[in-house]
Amino acid sequence: MAEPSRPKIIIMKGATDNLSAATYQIYGESHTIGNSLRWMLMKNPKVEFCGYSVPHPSEPTIQIRIQMYDDLSSLEALIKALSDLDDLCVSIENKYETTLQHDDYYRFEEKS
Amino acid sequence: MSSSTDINPRRLVGITAERATNVSNAEFPGHYPGEDHSWDLQKFYENTTVRVTKLSNRSIEFDIIGVDASIANAFRRIMLAEVPTVAIERVYVFDNTSIIQDEVLAHRIGLVPLNVDPGIMDYRDPNDETLATDRNTIVFKVDLTCTRNPSVPKGSSEDPAVLYTNHEFLSSHLVWQPAGEQETVFAEVDKPGSTNPNIVLAKLRPGQSINMELHAVKGVGKDHAKFNPVATASYRLHPNIVLKGDIPPDRIEALKKCFAPGVVRVNSLTGKPYIDREAMRGDYVTREVLRHPDLADKVELSRIRDHFIFGVETEGAYKPEALLPEAIKVMRSKISTMKAAAEALLEVKRQEDVTMGES
């Protein structure tokens, strides 16, 4: 559905040269990813500040601002947060599959 | 008397007469002195519980305990808007003399839930209409004409089902037109059609007819609500009710009436009221009790901030228990797309740094 030429992530104007403070614009994402990624970035002790916004409701982009301590790279923190979020998804899925297969829960029939 | 000593007060969202207190979780690194709240997969795995509590052929209820609202909300939002389904997208009307206008009928047909597994279909390119193939489009035909039933004597019945044939256009009247490899692909599963055969799409009277070709494609709920795979997907926080202090025996009945049935029980030996933990889960936390001045200070109402009770209902192609795994699958594919893009950016950045270092 996306215009193929549009990049998924761009670094917005005003980022520091070492990327220790930068705003990333992510195309085709919304609060779904924005808020969970913000939460995961804030779980990183090297992140000084992280916030996200949906600049306009009819444009399919979000902006994530990341500022790091110790001149670290915010891009590396972003990549780490994405991997951690993926690990989180895997553990929730494992736990869900386990409970679905092994737990004794109430089962019933419903008419549609 | 029941106590909440087992629940960490930091996990509670307080509910007072006019305010919700302690709404957000603040367990981030650097917030609480001397505590480490940085991301730790091992710790997360140990502190998180997922539990299915109810399952039917149409709905599921499960608890996710120990995650942040942003994560629970992401799963809910993906179930609503980004898990793909198949729905009728194009309606070619050759004849429609029914009382319902073409566009209204087309809209109603679009909303019919189909039993097609979206996993076996591709997305159709919306910019290129010539690209309809047997892998991305399923074709149905409808050809109905309402006629009088000649065997029924005049005036013998008022019932249109007796008087006429085809007096209703139902979802079961969609006739699948297999194309290409579809015949073999759908040989092992149910023939494409509506999950519910009894949806009335239009009513007809003698002489009226409908003749249409319908094209179903794969899509997502954020494009149109007809692609939404769930009837509802929502969560609520687990209620927590604590009694403190003695309640006069003559006020116990009043206390009981402030909560959902079975929440307040009376110990048959001591005559003292207590909260039934099992029933508390279903309480609505109406705050009715706070309107009684003599009871208000004897009860503490709250909800558990990280205990999400999900309720998911479905009417379409997915089984209710398949929706959370599908949502997680979508979330993971979004993450991997973003990760690839971020790593590409990092590579570009490294190249730039190298060339700048040389000059």
Q: What is the pLDDT of residues A62-91, one digit of tens each?
A: 999 999 999 999 999 999 999 999 999 999
pLDDT (average), residues A29-33: 96
Q: What is the structure's pLDDT at B6?
A: 73
pLDDT of residue A2: 47
State whether CATH 3.40.50.450 applies to domain A9-101: no
Give the pLDDT of residue B139.
96
Domain locations in chain A?
9-101
Asked whether B232 and B111 are in contact (CB, 8 A), the reply is no
Q: How many Å lie between the alpha carbon of A30 and the closest alpha carbon of chain B? A: 10
Is A78 an 8 Å CB contact of chain B?
yes
Q: How confident is the model at residue A4 (pLDDT cuts 50, 70, 90)?
A: low
Which residues 2-31 on chain A approach chain B with CB closer than 8 angstroms? 7-9, 11, 19, 26, 29-31
Closest CA to B265 of B243, B293, B294: B243
pLDDT above 80: residue B266: yes
Query: How high is the pLDDT of residue A111?
Result: 83
Give the ipTM.
0.94
In this structure, are residues B44 and A88 in contact, taking their beta carbons and an 8 Å threshold?
A: yes
Q: Counting Cβ atoms within 10 Å, is residue A70 exposed (0-12), middle (13-18) or buried (19+)?
A: exposed
Q: How many helices (H) and strands (E) does chain B have?
A: 9, 16
- Residue-wise pLDDT tens digits, B115-163: 999 999 999 887 776 788 999 999 999 999 999 999 988 888 889 999 9
How much is the pLDDT for B3? 47
In this predicted model, what pLDDT tens digit does every residue of B175-228 receive, in sequence order?
A: 999 999 999 999 888 899 999 999 999 999 999 999 999 999 999 999 999 999
Chain B residue nearest residue A76, CA to CA = B346
- What pLDDT score was predicted for residue B4? 46
B218-256 pLDDT, tens digit per residue, is: 999 999 999 999 999 999 999 999 999 889 999 999 999
Distance from the A26 Cα atom to the nearest Cα atom in chain B, whole angstroms: 8
Q: What is the mean pLDDT of chain B?
A: 93
Mapping DSSP to helix (H, G, I), strand (E, B) and coil, where does residue A77 land? helix
**Whole-angstrom Cα distance, residue A73 to residue A18?**
6
| pLDDT for residue B2 is more than 80 | no
